[in-house]
Each structure stands twice: as C-alpha cells, then as structure tokens.
Amino acid sequence: MMNWYAKRVRISRNITLAGKHYPTQDHSYLPGFLFEQEAGFIYRKEIFMKEYDVVIIGGAIAGPVAAKFCAQQNLKTLLIEQFEVPREKPCSGIQFTYFEKIIGDPIPQERLCNNTLVKTEMRFPNGQVLQGKFPMVNFMRDTFDEWLCLLAQSYGSDFQDGTKFKRFEENSKGTLVYLDGKNGAETVQTKYLIDATGMRPVIRQQLRSDTGFQKGSSGAALNYYFTADGDLETDKLYQVWNIDYNNMMFAWIYNKTLSDGKDYWVVGTGYDRDVTKRLDAFFDHVKELYNLKNVEVVKKEGYSSSMVMSGISRIWLGEGNFLMVGDAAGLIDLTRGVGMDAAALSGRLAGKAIGLAEKTGKPVIEIYKRLMKRLVKQTSENQQRGIMSFQNNDDLQAFLDKGVMKMGMNMMLQSRLNKLRSPEKQVMIP
C-alpha cells in the first residue's frame, strides 16, 4: 500500500511547456509530473500525498483501540504496525473482565485460550498462601492483537502492517510521517500523531530523548512455556511474591494456548538484572512446590526496556498534537502487575480527546490530560509504593501484611462498581 495517489488528466496531443513545444512522441524528460501516452493523447498523472486526521504508530493494544475510536468518529485514521500480524508478543495476556468493556466489542472465543482462569493463588515470602475466585480473560497476544487491528479496520481505519516508522517532521500543515513499508519508503501527512509503540517509544524518544529512559536495559521479563505432570490447576493464576525471584512485581505460573492449539504452562518473572538466573531459580522452586515431573520446555520468550520505572518523568502524555498512549506514556503499573487495561483505556480516551478537539477547537493535549487525570493519579501513586523500593523480603512482607486485605476488599468493590460505570470511567484494579 503506497500512501500516494494519482489523478490522470488528459491534456493534449502536444505539450507546450515554458514556451517550448513538445510532440507527444517525446515526453519522457518533461519535469514535474508523470506522463502516459495512449491513442495519441498525453495524460498527466498528478501525484498527491495521502493525508490523515490521525496516524497511530503501534498495533498492540493501545494503538488499535485508539484507531477504532478515531475511525468511529469519522476521523481519517491510519494504524501502523512494524511487523506483519499475527506477530510474536511476549506478554501475560491476562486481563480483568472489564477490559472487554473498555474495548467496546465482545472478544471472539477463537481469540481466547482454551482454559478460562477463574481462581488466583498468592504466595508470600513468609509462606502464607491466599486463594480466591476471580474470573479473568486469558489470551495470547499474537492472535488477540491481530484481532484488535482488524477490529479497527472494520470501523474504517486504514491498517498497514509490515511497516516501520522512521521519523517525523513538523510542517505548516501538521506533521509528516516517514515510513518504510512493504512497497518501500513512503510519507504521509497528519494532523495528530499517536505513539503506541510500547516501552521503547519511538516518537516519544524523538520528542524527549533526555527524559524517562536510560542507556541500556532498566529491566527485563522472561517466560518459559513447558509441559509437565504435577499439581498445577489449569483454571488458576499463581502469583509468587518474593524479591529473590522478582523485584518488580510477582512471579507467575498459569496455563496458555500456543499457536499449535495445544495447552502449555508458562512460568515467568521480571528483574532489573540477571533475569535468566532469577527465572531458573524460580522454576526450580515451582517444580518442587507443585511436584512437577516429566518437565519439557518448548519455548522461551522475553523482552527488555530502557524506561526508568522509578523515574519521576516516566509518565508523560505528550505535547501539542502528539499523544502518548499505553506503555509509551509510561502507564505500565508494576504494583498491579498488569498494564493492558490502562493501555486500552488510554487509547480510547486519546480517540475521544481528538474528537473533542476537532469539535471545540481546544488544544487536544489539554483535553487528553483532563480525561486521563484519574488513571495518571492511580499509576503515579502505585509507582511510588511499588516493590522496587523494597530492599528485602521482610520489607515486602510488611507491605503485604499491611495492604493485602485492603487490596482484596478494594478489588471486590471496584469490580462491582465497574459494572455500573461507563467504559471511560472504569477504575483499574487491584
């Protein structure tokens, strides 16, 4: 898909240009336009750059959701994804049920894993175990994100995968976006540009290369998919809170469905250093704890980020007509252990902000900041009390002793209230 289009105009059998006469037989060197000859006539092909109201870079969750709600308001929208979909995406793929409400469309059953998660088991440093029932949405990110991109397309957004963002350049009409697509280099014009490129945000770093990031990795997450016999339950999410295994949130075990249609266990963790060493130690612990036998690892996946998780400048929503959504805005919440719900909500609110800006003439960034106020406040508060601030398991245990009961009660309360709230007023839990 080239983001240029041509209008074919018949002009004459001969051309006069700059006082000189050119016969139809010799037009190959004429400057400024492309020419075609047919039945003795010359046709001038006038080339125009494609223009959009909104261009969104990133086809994970925040990007397609933003594209859907922009297109729904009859805004001419282009969604760009670097890789061809479906593509690999290391991520938990677990969400609370209000996630579907934020997206605004029911998730097709074929985009979900075979096993539904309805229970949670939490293990603390002191050996305490808490269990409860809590339904969750369980999916693999490759097929789920593909569905979101196709959903945005069904609402009228243009969608282009296999296309890499190169850079942007502001001009008198807005912003030129330079891309490298399946058919080569291309350029589009847009009024609004949304960065949905995750924890290594390409537009944000071009705008603010000096804030929110560090040289090298600030942390990484790693997953092993495996088969085994043992005492794990397929409908349960296992959380292990222990700084020896994860100093960002909890380490995890649960059941997933891979592209072959078969079910596997996934064990994973995150750490700011030596993540492979930490996961191997945790996996050994899991094998012993749940009596796992005949263990066979079939797949490994991981990702890293240069975003400073504890930095005061991590959360940034953008400037002018540039909007940040999802992880690109720094909305990943390690205290909650999830971020896809916040990504979807930020994408939806970015779309709403652009629609309101078009109707009212008010600055889009000011509208977006107002709409995002509650979510930013919650994420900032959780960032300040995240487990990365704890030096040992004693500190972590003290925090859990003080807050776990309150967290559980709040989850039940907010879960019920979210059923009554509008999609844009959803409160992230826990």
pLDDT of residue 257: 95
pLDDT of residue 389: 67
* Confidence check: pLDDT of 416 > 60: yes
pLDDT of residue 26: 41
Per-residue pLDDT tens over the stretch 321-352 = 999 999 999 998 766 767 899 999 999 999 99
pTM for this prediction? 0.86
* Confidence check: pLDDT of 161 > 60: yes
* Confidence check: pLDDT of 25 > 80: no
% of residues, the chain, pLDDT over 70: 83
pLDDT of residue 430: 74
| Lowest-pLDDT range of 154-168, 201-215, 351-365 | 201-215
pLDDT of residue 272: 85
Domains of the chain (ranges, CATH numbers):
4-49 (no CATH), 50-88+140-214+306-386 (3.50.50.60), 94-138+219-304+390-430 (3.30.9)
* Confidence check: pLDDT of 279 > 90: yes
Tell which wins on pLDDT, 28 or 92: 92
pLDDT of residue 312: 63
Per-residue pLDDT tens over the stretch 110-128 = 999 999 999 999 999 999 9
For 250-259, what is the mean pLDDT?
Answer: 94
* Confidence check: pLDDT of 17 > 70: no
* Confidence check: pLDDT of 192 > 50: yes
Per-residue three-class SS string for the chain: CCCEEEEEEEEECEEEECCEEEECCCCCCCCCCEEEEECCEEEEEEEEECEEEEEEECCCCHHHHHHHHHHCCCCCEEEECCCCCCCCCCCCCEEECHHHHHHCCCCCHHHCCCCCEEEEEEECCCCCEEEEEEEEEECCHHHHHHHHHHHHHHCCCEEECCCEEEEEEEECCEEEEEEEECCEEEEEEEEEEEECCCCCCHHHHHHCCCCCECCCCCEEEEEEEEEEECCCCCCEEEEECCCCCCCCCCEEEEEEECCCCCEEEEEEEEECCCHHHHHHHHHHHHHHHCCCEEEEEEEEEEEEECECCCCCCCCCCEECCEEECHHHHCCCECCCCECHHHHHHHHHHHHHHHHHHHHHCCCHHHHHHHHCHHHHHHHHHHHHCCHHHCCCHHHHHHHHHHHHHHHHHHHHHHHHHHHHCCHHHCCCCC
| Lowest-pLDDT range of 262-276, 333-347, 360-374 | 333-347
* Confidence check: pLDDT of 304 > 70: yes
* Confidence check: pLDDT of 397 > 60: yes
| Lowest-pLDDT range of 86-95, 108-117, 383-392 | 383-392
pLDDT of residue 41: 55
pLDDT of residue 386: 60
Q: How far does the chain reach from its first CA to its final CA, in angstroms?
A: 43
